[in-house]
Amino acid sequence: MTDKVFDNNQVSIAGEVISEFTFSHDVFGEGFYILEVVVSRLSNSYDMIPVMVSERLTDVKQNYKGKYVEVLGQFRSYNRHEESKNKLVLSVFAREIKIADELSENAKPNHIFLDGFVCKPPIYRKTPLGREIADVLLAVNRPYGKSDYIPCICWGRNARFAESFSVGGHVQVWGRIQSREYQKKMNETDFEKRVAYEVSVSKLEYLEEY
């Protein structure tokens, strides 16, 4: 049974496939696989975005490395238990996927819309260069009583605005998904390179409480 499609979590990405399909998990006999996609930014850098694909959407045994993909779907989260604590894992859950030798002219490289609720106090700070940043964690409802927890990062005027948001506040955001590498300290001498994913907010609105 397919779940009701909610319009409170809409993602479109388009980019180059840089990995083969790797198995993620199984739900009631339906296999889900991760595909890594590189999406270009206007600044000549790029984001590496994981896409979760059902084996019922496309042939997951094919190797599409070097091909281009256009995906419509949702930004999903789940908790993975590791090292005695839970880690928030984020990926684009594909509802539609198109693989081709080149991107179509009307492809949206990286766009997201979320309609959710603030679930912890926003964290406002300034960089050493004085740039204003605010981190906002949004809970976005999903069918069957589930929610996705999406970290969002706001800049400048949006950061000052977001600093005033209260927990439980109803917020809509528009932006793009970005990846960010960081070093996780494993012990006194070892560090491990990790990648974090978040929504870089270009526009946001604070709605009236229900």
Q: How is domain 9-109 classified at the CATH fold level?
A: OB fold (Dihydrolipoamide Acetyltransferase, E2P) (2.40.50)
Strands 46-54 and 85-100: parallel
DSSP annotation of 161 reads H
Is 60 exceeded by the pLDDT of residue 119?
yes
d(CA 101, CA 66): 8
Domains 9-109 and 112-207 share a fold: yes
Q: Let me know how many helices (H) and strands (E) the chain has, helices first.
A: 1, 12
**Domain spans, the chain:** 9-109, 112-207
**Residue carrying structure tokens 């949702």:** 74
Give the Å distances, CA to CA, from 1 to 28, 66, 112, 114.
11, 34, 26, 24
Q: Which pLDDT score, from 0 to 100, does residue 1 have?
A: 36
Is 80 exceeded by the pLDDT of residue 132?
yes
d(CA 67, CA 97): 13
Instruction: Enumerate the H helices of the chain as residue ranges.
Output: 156-162
pLDDT tens column, 13-39: 999 999 999 999 999 999 999 999 999
Q: Which pLDDT score, from 0 to 100, does residue 145 have?
A: 87
Q: Which pLDDT score, from 0 to 100, does residue 83 have?
A: 67
pLDDT tens column, 81-93: 766 677 788 999 9
Higher-pLDDT residue of 111 and 1 is 111
> Long-range CB contacts (< 8 A, 24+ apart) of 98-101?
98/69, 98/70, 98/71, 99/17, 99/58, 99/64, 99/67, 99/68, 99/69, 100/67, 100/68, 100/69, 100/70, 101/67, 101/68
pTM: 0.90
Name the band, by pLDDT with cuts 50, 70 and 90, for residue 107.
Answer: confident
Q: Which pLDDT score, from 0 to 100, does residue 105 have?
A: 85
Domain 112-207 class, CATH top level = mainly beta
User: Can you tell me whether residue 156 is helix, strand or coil?
Assistant: helix
Strand runs labelled E in 55-158 = 68-82, 85-100, 110-118, 123-126, 132-141, 147-155
Name the band, by pLDDT with cuts 50, 70 and 90, for residue 11.
Answer: very high
